[in-house]
Amino acid sequence: MTTTSNLWTNSDLRLQASRELPGLTKELKSDKSERMERVEHGTDLFGEMKQRFLSFKKHKYMQNLELYEKLAKDQAPKFMVIACADSRVCPSSILGFQPGEAFVVRNVANMVPPYENGPSETNAGLEFAVNSLKVENILVIGHSRCGGIRALMSMHDDVETSSLIGSWVSVGMNARVRTKAATKLLNFDQQCKHCEKESVNCSLVNLLTYPWVEEKVRNGELRYSRRLLRLRRLCI
């Protein structure tokens, strides 16, 4: 009886599925039509990404096959780069890094939290780059007109933020305090400009709170530096 019941159930399911197929086919055709319409109007962004990938594969990957096959087996970058997630400041594009040359971590406002703050994606990347990849240089890249820095400078001293962005950029609170003290007579935009530099300085200080970074710097095995990119000509 159980077997018969299961057979009837499976038959019912197949019958139900067959009844739904026309509607599903119609939906798929509709989706295809919408996709074709997007292509005609130049808005098929994922299609464009696919074409970019195919172009990369043909003109870069296949023409440098030996390099990419080597990179597939191992990596030995000389640099670790900590940069902002801002879409306008891609480290590889601006500094000309080629595949395999730089291990890059990007976050909001290019911040390095101190060691005592506990685990984060940024210091996990830092640990891997320093201890496993044995990078010789750490470069912290700041930039002007940074939205993360503006969020930091907009925070109120006596109000605890509940937003994820606010919780993250509070890593740079020391930079904010120093900026406020040094720029009391300046307007908000000028204060943000100052804080963009001060935040990078604080990140460099925070790097030395990691025991294995401090040890390698002291032994001359690791160097760290800063760079600030100006966006006057890149921003509208």
User: What is the rounded distance in angstroms from the CA atom of residue 160 to the CA atom of residue 152?
Assistant: 12
The CA–CA distances, whole Å, from 140 to 1, 79, 118 equal 71, 10, 20
Token pair in block for residue 116: 């005592």
User: What is the rounded distance in angstroms from the CA atom of residue 173 to the CA atom of residue 162?
Assistant: 15
Alpha carbons within 13 A on the beta-carbon side of 223: 6
Q: Does residue 146 have a known ligand-binding role?
A: yes
Sign of the dihedral through C-alpha 211, 213, 219, 221: positive
The backbone torsions φ and ψ at residue 200, rounded to the nearest 5 degrees and listed phi first, read -65, -40
Q: Does residue 156 have a known ligand-binding role?
A: no
Return the SS3 of 158: coil
Q: Does residue 41 have a known ligand-binding role?
A: no
Q: Reading across the β-sheet that carries 79-84, which strands appear in turn?
A: 102-107, 79-84, 137-143, 223-229
- CA-based nearest residue to 217, from 225, 208, 209: 208
Q: Where are the beta strands (DSSP E) in 36-136?
A: 79-84, 102-107
DSSP character at residue 41: T
User: What is the rounded distance in angstroms from the CA atom of residue 183 to the CA atom of residue 175?
Assistant: 12
Q: Which residues are annotated as a binding site for Zn(2+)?
A: 84, 86, 143, 146
Residues contributing to the annotated binding site: 84, 86, 143, 146
